[in-house]
Amino acid sequence: MAWTTTDDARKASNMPAHASPRKNIVEHDTTVTTVTMPGPALEMEADADAVHEIVVDALVALRLAMREIRCILARAIRREGITYVFR
């Protein structure tokens, strides 16, 4: 049996076990296309604490990056002589 892209992503050694779909989520008929949206759930072998830590670290990094962008963007807009009001 050939592995699908989903299988490759799920089995990557640097990724924690997660809720990757185990089957194709899109099915085509002659007139109908069905998209199945599986609910999020950790796989049995997943380490919930490790997944939580990865998500928290990513969100903290995103918050810091967005705060920096907000400061840089305001200065750049003012340098162009454009009135900038942040609400």
Q: What is the residue type of 76?
A: A
pLDDT per position as a tens digit, 27-78 = 888 889 888 877 767 777 778 888 889 899 999 999 999 999 988 988 888 8
* pTM summary value: 0.45
Tell me: pLDDT of 87 over 90. Answer: no
- Asked whether the beta carbons of 16 and 47 are under 8 A apart, the reply is yes
Domain ranges of the chain: 1-44, 47-87
Report CA Rg, the chain.
21
Tell me: pLDDT of 8 over 90. Answer: no
